[in-house]
Amino acid sequence: MHKKLFIPGPVEVRPEVLEKMATPMIGHRTKDASQLQREISELAMKLFYTKNQILLSTTSGSGLMEGAIRCCTRKRAAVFSIGAFGDRWFKMAQNNNVPADKIDSEWGRPTTPEQVDAALSTGKYDLITITHNETSTGVMCPVEEIAVVMKKYPDVIWCLDTVSSMAGTKIEVDALGVDICITSTQKAIGLPPGMAICSISEKAMNAARQVEFRGTYLDLVELYDYIQKKDYQYPSTPSLSHMFALRYQLNYIINEEGLENRFARHLEMAKRTRTWAKTYFEMLADERYASNTLTTIKNTRGINVGDLNKKLGERGFMLSNGYGALKEKTFRIAHMADCTLAEVNELLGHVEDILGLK
Ligand SMILES: *Cc1c(COP(=O)(O)O)cnc(C)c1O
């Protein structure tokens, strides 16, 4: 039996989108391939609220995260971490011999504008990374406030991980001044895993050109220059299947559902889940910074999350245990992509029933 996924990626994918993945292949050096990739870029620019160039990568989101920190750090990176994915970005810096420092927040708390200001005022850093929506803790950082601080440091490259939030909440890349904004297909966008998308500013490109060793497959300069020269084609063979599905889904998100409607639907599901979490458990996140795409719930009743998921599985549902050290101490309910409030209510009803919460 298929289990309906309420985990923070992969998510449920609409059948129409899955069908697009089965589109017959085209040559990746054809006009049709150029057209496909150009259309995706134009649609993604609307989703990202940017005029910057869009790059696609046949990797999951981690690929572009690694490429960004490696290619664009000239001096030293400040990696702000509020959980598992910030820690991962720091590890990528270390493994690529990129000088970096990690600035941690307590799990459940966001990165603050004060932390960013304190780090950048030292003058040590020329790149920062921020996790917009930390999928381990369910925290969303106040990027509008951080953007105000970033205006004081116009030479610093700002990389933002929006892997679990893009298409689930409004992220205005150009208004914020984000240089590299990264996401993947398998979260709020609602596609199968396997492709990453980013926007990249001229400033970030100029920084990257000053870095000598940028690797090859994830060299952002190579990708950027190639698509300029070859009419949106990529240096190696991309996942065309994802591209067919992505063009279809971005069209749906922007022109059928509408961005504002989509963001409002996500907020409605988030509010419902937070209220539920506070009724029966507690939230891990400080509620002012609670994520709009997933809720991390403290296991204050000492339930066995593994068992709960097994029983949910028998009913055709799946939620997510806590991440890493938070396993069994928390559990997570994702409410993202094309999930509806009615489906969230259905899941919560089953959880109440299984745990005897009524
Ligand atoms: C899932 C996730 C990642 C990793 O993305 P992949 O597409 O799995 O490589 C990075 N950051 C955040 C916040 C995530 O939720």
Per-residue burial over 124-150, b if 16 or more Cβ lie within 10 Å, else e, is ebbbbbbbbbbbbbbbbbebeebbebb
Nearest atom (ligand 1) to Cα of 135: 15
Nearest atom of ligand 1 to the alpha carbon of 85 = 11
Centre of ligand 1 to C-alpha 356, Å, is 34
The reply to whether 29 sits in an annotated binding site is no
> Residue whose CA is closest, atom 6 of ligand 1?
61
Cα 239 to ligand 1 centre (Å): 19
* Cα Rg of the chain, angstroms: 20
Nearest alpha carbon, ligand 1 atom 2: 163
This prediction has a pTM of 0.98
* Distance from the alpha carbon of residue 297 to the mean position of ligand 1, in angstroms: 19
Q: Which band of pLDDT confidence, cut at 50, 70 and 90, is reported for residue 115?
A: very high
Atom of ligand 1 nearest to the CA of 164: 15
Q: Which residues line ligand 1 (CB under 6 A)?
A: 8-9, 60-62, 85, 131, 133-135, 161, 163-164, 184
Strands (E), the chain: 4-5, 53-57, 77-81, 100-104, 127-131, 133-134, 139-140, 157-161, 180-184, 196-200, 282-283, 294-298, 317-318, 320-321, 330-334
Which fold, 4-9+258-355? Aspartate Aminotransferase, domain 1 (3.90.1150)
Atom from ligand 1 closest to the CA of residue 134:
13
- Do the strands 282-283 and 320-321 form a parallel or antiparallel pair, or are they unpaired? unpaired
Ligand 1 centre to CA of 196 (Å) is 10
Partners of 5 in the beta sheet?
A: 318
Q: Half-sphere exposure (CA, 13 Å, Cβ side) for 171? A: 33
State the distance from the centre of ligand 1 to the C-alpha of 238, rounded, in angstroms: 20
In this structure, the strands spanning 53-57 and 196-200 are antiparallel
In the chain, CATH 3.90.1150.10 sits at 4-9+258-355
Return the pLDDT at 57: 98
Q: What is the pLDDT of residues 247-263, one digit of tens each?
A: 999 999 999 999 999 99
Q: Which of 263, 260, 239, 203 is nearest to 40 (CA)?
A: 239
Ligand 1 closest atom vs CA 131: 13
Q: Report the DSSP beta bridge partners of residue 182.
A: 161, 198
Q: Which tens digit of pLDDT belongs to each residue from 126-139? A: 999 999 999 999 99
The residues, any chain, with a CB within 8 Å of residue 47's CB and separated by 6 or more, are: 166, 167, 250, 253, 254, 259
Residue ranges in 79-184 assigned as alpha helix (H): 84-95, 113-120, 143-150, 173-176
Ligand 1 centroid to residue 357 C-alpha, Å: 32
Give the pLDDT band of residue 52 (cuts 50, 70, 90).
Answer: very high
pLDDT, tens digit (0-9, with 9 covering 90-100), for 259-314: 999 999 999 999 999 999 999 999 999 999 999 999 999 999 999 999 999 999 99
Q: 184 in helix, strand or coil? A: strand
Domain with CATH 3.40.640.10 in the chain: 23-255
CATH class label, 23-255: alpha beta
